[in-house]
Each structure stands twice: as C-alpha cells, then as structure tokens.
Chains A and B, each alone.
Chain A
C-alpha cells in the first residue's frame, strides 16, 4: 500500500483492477437474479407514432436519417417474424405467442416513405411482401398498391412502380384488365423496357399465362436491390418450372395410362428413354404420383404452388 501511494501508476492499476472486479461481480449477481427471477417476455412490437408528418416535425429536417431508421426497423420486424415462424421453439421467448400477421409492416413502410419519398427499395419491398399471403407476407395486395401509388405521386417517372402495381393486379388479384392498363402506362414512360408493351397487349388479350408470369418474375429478380427480393423471385421462378414439369409429367402419365388402360401408380411404369429415375423438382425433391396424378411433394420448399393466373382465352389446340 505504501508502494501504491508512492508510485502513482501502481495506484491506477490497482484501482482499475478493483473496479473491474466489482463490475464483474455485479454482472454475476445479475445473472443469478435473472436465473431466479426471469425477466418478463418482450411485448409485441408497437408503433407509438404512426403519423409521418409528426415524425417529420420531430426530426427537425433530418428526414432521410429518420427514414433509414424506420427502414431498419421494418426489415428487423419482418425478418424477426419470419424467424419466429420458421423456428418458434428457438426464437420465441417464454409466453410469447406465435405471430399471426405482419400488422406493423405497412405502417413502418408508410412512415419510411413519408419521411423519404424517394426510398425506392421500401416501395418495391412493400409491393412484394405486403401482397404475399401469410406466412410469406402480410397478405394485403390493397396496401401494396396503395404504397406504390404513393411512390408514383412522388416520382411519376418510375415505370418500375407501375410495373409492380400491374404485377400485384396480375399475380395476386388476377385482375387482368387492371394489370394490362398498368403495364401499358409503364410502357409509355421514357426508359421503360420494350417488353412491357407486349406484356400489356398479351395480358389484355389473353389474361394470365405462365410465360408472362415468368417474364415478370425474371424482371423483378434482375431489378431487385436486396437479397430477399431476389430469393423470393427465384422461388417463384422455380415454382413456375415445377408447374411446367408437372404438366409434362402428367401428359406422359396420361399417355401411358391410356395406352395400358390402367391408372399409373408408380414411376417405374414411365421408365424409358425420357425418364430414367424418379423425377425431382428444382429443389431436388421428388414429385409424387398418386392414383395417376402428378403433384408437388408437400415436403418440397416450393410447396404450395401458387394459384395459376387464368387464361381468358384457351390456347388453340
């Protein structure tokens, strides 16, 4: 102790060690306390302020920074619910219910885009994940359209938003006249890709078809700025591929069945030059064959397949 008073650095080291030990002891006591008296589960996410104009005033002009914070919050909220749905036992705290909707997603995206009307990715993210049915998304195509129309008021030159509105009408609402109208409007914007014109025409004339659907998902995939959008577009494209595979396999099953006048129940009946093993979907999961019907396996990551956009005019046979 005499050394500590005479040599200042020794005193500093001793005091620092004592302070460190005390903090470590406090941490240990906290751990013991939380083991005996667990903290209550986190409450559901709630938005205290939902008015974008109020938040604008509170941020004193630093709107884009506030928009970034709300975007981070929207991403964390969406990803958090996805994780809880994928692994409830591993992610939910004790007593926390399994989420049943994404009710905060639209308010968060609305706030983000009110604070920064040029926030492109927020609109496009919303167009996909607001429209997708639960558990992939919020299941609210009306809100997806509302968000995109808000984006168009701020930036009427963004043909991508018009394309996305058309896509929501096409894929989720199967409202082909509305979809065609939005594709037409998008095609008239300077810089819009050439295929929007033909897409508008085909949609109006024939309704939904797989080729148009594939084109739109490929366009979304190529223009997507974040991984989630790209992965979702990839999944949809694989689902379309699976639908093509099922059609081709079903045609073969029907052909063999009509030639043998019996229901085809196993893949062995189809073995031949065109089919050497059990056919698999794009995720390498085998298709099922039950009583002459080919289907996607329920264990496939692509299950369930989407409701196919309906043709208004049947193809010429």
Chain B
C-alpha cells in the first residue's frame, strides 16, 4: 500500500508539472470567462449558456487530460527506461498500475476542482450583476449546488476513461491507445443506440451482438446529467449512487486486466 501511495504521489507531482496540463486548464478557464460574452447573444439565456459551456468545457478538457496523460503513464516509463529501475525495486507490478492510476485520478480531481472554481466565479459575477426580477425567471439558481453533482459525475466518468487509457497503455503504443480510448469514449456515449439496434436491423445475430456489446462496453451516457442540472431538474442520490458503483466495478475490472497484462509483459 505504501508503494502504491508513493507512486501515486510521484505521478501527481509529475503531472502537475506537465505544461500540456496547464495549457488545457488555462484554456478551459478562458473559455468559461468567454462564456459570459457569448451569453450576451442568447436573448436572456446567458446563465444557461454559461453553465452549459462551463460543464462541457470541464468534461472535454478533463477528457483530454485523462487520455493524453493516461496513455503516457506506462509508455513514458518504458521510453525513458526508468521502468527497469522501478521494477528492480521491491514493488509488485500491480502496485505500479494502481499507483499510476491513483496519481492521475488525483490530478484529474485537482484540475476539475480548479475548473469548477472558475465556473462558479463567472456565475457569482453573473448573479451579482443580474436584477432580482430576472433571477426569478431562471430555471435554476446561478449558484446551484447541483452543478457540483454534474461535475462529480463528470469526474467519475473521467475516472473510467482514465482506467481505459491506462489499460490500453499497458500493451499498446501511445497513438493506438489514444485512438482506442477515444473510440470507446464515443461508443460509451452512444451505447443506447446499441441497445435499440434490434429496431434498426432484421438480423437476430446482429441484434444479439449489439445487445452483448451494450452490456460489455462502458455505459458513459449515465454520467451525463448536465441537461437536467442546467434545467433545475432533480437528480436523486440513488441515481448518483448506482452510477458510482457501476464506475467502481468497471474501473476495478479494467485495473485488474491492466495489472495482469502488465505483469506478463517481458521488458527485456
């Protein structure tokens, strides 16, 4: 456990020094600030646009961070040959995988936190400059705590994506890992189409395959509650709980598979 923690802290320290990370977070923050200007074009829907853009930016930039750092976690060590000195130490290979994963998830949490703060700063300003009569017409308050639920579920979704990226990085090149991870991300977002495939095709075999894929592939659409949050619709604790449990199970399966593949790899 100590080794895993040490590796996680090291990954976190390396990640926060990565310039790509700073540029992505800076861009996300600038986008949120710009959303205030974009909101002026929307005929009274400015707070809605700010929330939509802020939550989408958090998700998109978080995705880039998860994928582009996640695919490098193992590949970079192999390329720099620092992996050999690591493996010569008394640590198990699965501890390396778990530590890498925990470190990146911690990095994601920090970055999502920063983006959440930026979003709330813009919303505080919006709330302060809007007349009470206009505020009363909003579907949800500007400083709606439910936004944190949306961001939390985005974080959970990105934790799954990170596990996918790490899984592929244990046996594939960074370019292919990125391609596979993005492909699974898109497939996970549209998994509902697989479920209803039998309505679009006549072949029972194809429908059965689609159904199987629906249950096997990660269902990422369930973590997207942005529309409900922005419109002030409730999200139950039960829904959030089930989504988190699903993510935990899927991540555990991916990390197990990644650990197994990594432990069997011959780095000579």
Residue ranges of A at the interface with B (Cβ–Cβ < 8 Å): 57, 60-65, 67-68, 71-72, 75-76, 116, 118, 120-121, 125, 225-228
Contacts and interface: CB of A to CB of B under 8 A. Distances in A.
Given A64-B52, A64-B227, A228 B43 contact: yes
Contact residues of A: prevailing secondary structure? helix
Contacts of B45: 68, 71, 121, 225-226
Nearest to A62: B56
Contacts of B233: 118
Nearest to A63: B227
A34 B42 CA distance: 32
Interface in B162-192: 185-186, 189-190
Given A62-B60, A67-B52, A68-B53, 9 more contacts: A57-B190, A63-B227, A64-B226, A72-B41, A72-B42, A76-B41, A116-B227, A121-B43, A225-B44
Contacts of B189: 60-61
B231 interface: yes
B135 to A, nearest CB: 11
A159 B185 CA distance: 38
* 5 tightest A-B CB contacts, nearest first: A226-B44, A61-B189, A118-B231, A65-B56, A226-B43
Contacts of A118: 227-228, 231, 233
11 contacts: A61-B189, A61-B190, A64-B56, A65-B52, A72-B38, A75-B41, A121-B43, A225-B44, A225-B137, A226-B43, A226-B44
Interface of B: 38, 41-45, 48-49, 52-53, 56, 59-60, 137, 139, 185-186, 189-190, 220-221, 224, 226-228, 230-231, 233
B190 A68 contact: no
A68 B52 contact: yes
A65 B60 CA distance: 12
A228 B44 CA distance: 9
Contacts of B231: 118, 120
Contacts of A226: 43-45
Contacts of A75: 41-43
Contacts of B226: 64
A64 B139 contact: no
Nearest to B137: A225
Nearest to B57: A65
B137 to A, nearest CB: 5
A244 to B, nearest CB: 28
Contact of A62 (B38, B48, B49, B59): B59
Contacts of A64: 52, 56, 226-227, 230
Nearest to B42: A72
Nearest to B224: A61
A60 B59 CA distance: 12
Contact of A61 (B52, B137, B221): B221
A72 B44 CA distance: 11
Contacts of B44: 121, 225-227
Contacts of B137: 225
A60 B41 CA distance: 24
A62 B45 CA distance: 18
Contacts of B38: 72
